[in-house]
Amino acid sequence: MRIVNRRDFLKASSSLGIAALGARALDAFAQDVLNVGVVHQYPIGEVGWETQHALGWKAMEAAFPGKVKVTVVADVQQAQDSERVFRELASQGNKLIFGTTFSHMAPMLKVARTAPNTHFDCCASVTTLKNMGAFEARNYEASYVAGVIAGRMTRSNTLGWVGAFPIPQTVWRMNGFMLGARSVNPKAVCNVVWINTWNDPAKEKDAVNALISQGADVLAGSPNTPVQGVAAEERGAWSIANCSDFSKFVPKKQLTGDIFDWRSAYIDSARDALAGTWKAQDRFRGLGEGGFCAMVPYNAAIPAEVVADAKQREKDIVSGKLKVFAGPLKDRDGKQRVAAGGSLSDKEIRSINWLVEGINGPFPKS
């Protein structure tokens, strides 16, 4: 495995660099080794979105020792750079290439159409091709369970949510969180502050302080950093982690969290590529074995009966007994969205643009 940043990769891939790198990749492939390229949008840090993907491809390497060779290109933020990197990775003999974010979808589609013998997989893509798959997490399942914990632990009956962008992936998490909270505490409400960024410590801290000033005593949200939890702990409030486990930074007041677990996405795709059975799939998985999301360990301060209830709901979600978006379900304007006995379809969930009852605050259009 080698990790390079965008600038060094593109520099090495120019002129003589392409031939040198390509020769090494093709030599490895000739020795029955699967060459895999992974493109990260930002640098790989200690926690957060990029870290969870890194854990995924590292698990893939460990699952196939000596059979998989990974080239990781980090900090590829611009679409034109993404297209160049995907194209170079394909030209160097990487037979399986991963994009780690929705922003990689459009440039990957362009390259995939010109490289039919290369397999592509893109996280959060909404489009697939014969040689390009997609994978996405039903993390509203985990946020529902976290909401159950929040609904039990709040004393003010006011929860707080720091919103990143009002896209379906953040909206379904926030709705799941509220539905979980109200399933055990009908008096619970959730105030939301939108900051329109995935990572801005100053904005995150200001949002947390504003929500606590509004009475929130359990904080959750969309940005992928520990800042919300740290800021909440400083004010004596509980928090719910997002994306990664932030307990290293929030040792006392983190209740639990919903994290991404992409290991099976990488391992399954590599296994199929090695076996010659790879087919483009649109994988949408939640909690459970082989799923794409999981719960952070529960804080010891949570009463045992509350933890037991949360764990039972996890099991019921995995078995299909409990559906998060089951009817009767109304939005916050009182409009019925799901009738009794029904539930939202995957298509409806993946395009959701409305908030459930109990969520207060503006809802900007994405």
Residue listed under structure tokens 């985990």: 142
* Long-range contacts, stretch 229-238, CB < 8 angstroms, 24+ apart: 229/253, 229/254, 231/204, 231/205, 232/208, 235/208, 235/209, 237/160, 237/208, 237/212, 238/150, 238/153, 238/154
> So what's the pLDDT on residue 326?
97
- Reduced to 3 states (helix: H, G, I; strand: E, B; else coil), residue 48 is coil
Q: Are 178 and 224 in the same domain? A: yes
* Amino acid identity for residue 28 in this structure: A
Q: Are 346 and 199 in the same domain? A: yes
The residue ranges of the chain whose pLDDT is under 50 are 15-16, 18-30
Q: Are 188 and 220 in the same domain? A: yes
125-174 residue pLDDT tens: 999 999 999 999 999 999 999 999 999 999 999 999 999 999 999 999 99
Asked whether residue 299 is domain-assigned, the answer is: no
Q: Are 18 and 80 in the same domain? A: yes
Note down the domain range covering 85. 6-137+262-285
Asked whether residue 105 is domain-assigned, the answer is: yes
Asked whether residue 307 is domain-assigned, the answer is: no
Q: Are 118 and 74 in the same domain? A: yes
Asked whether residue 14 is domain-assigned, the answer is: yes
Q: Is 15 left (phi over 0), alpha (psi -120 to 50) or beta?
A: left
Asked whether residue 320 is domain-assigned, the answer is: no
Q: Are 116 and 227 in the same domain? A: no
Q: Are 21 and 126 in the same domain? A: yes
Alpha helices in the chain (DSSP H): 6-13, 16-30, 49-63, 79-91, 105-114, 140-153, 168-184, 201-213, 227-234, 263-275, 304-319, 346-349
Query: What tokens does 110 get?
Result: 């362009």
Residue listed under structure tokens 């007994």: 321
Q: How many domains does the chain have?
A: 2
Q: Are 110 and 187 in the same domain? A: no
Torsion, Cα of 136, 56, 106, 221 (10° steps):
50
> So what's the pLDDT on residue 199?
86
Q: Are 101 and 130 in the same domain? A: yes
Asked whether residue 293 is domain-assigned, the answer is: no
- How far, in Å, CA of 154 to CA of 138, rounded? 25
* pTM for the full predicted model: 0.91
Q: Are 201 and 56 in the same domain? A: no
> So what's the pLDDT on residue 6?
65
Q: How far is CA 249 from the centre of its chain?
A: 20
Q: Are 95 and 148 in the same domain? A: no
Give the CATH number, domain containing residue 199.
3.40.50.2300
Q: How far is CA 112 from the centre of its chain?
A: 23
Asked whether residue 310 is domain-assigned, the answer is: no
> So what's the pLDDT on residue 10?
65
Q: Are 46 and 114 in the same domain? A: yes
Asked whether residue 195 is domain-assigned, the answer is: yes
Write the DSSP string, 73-138: EE---SHHHHHHHHHHHHHTT-SEEEE-SGGGHHHHHHHHHH-TTSEEEEET-S--BTTEEEEEE-
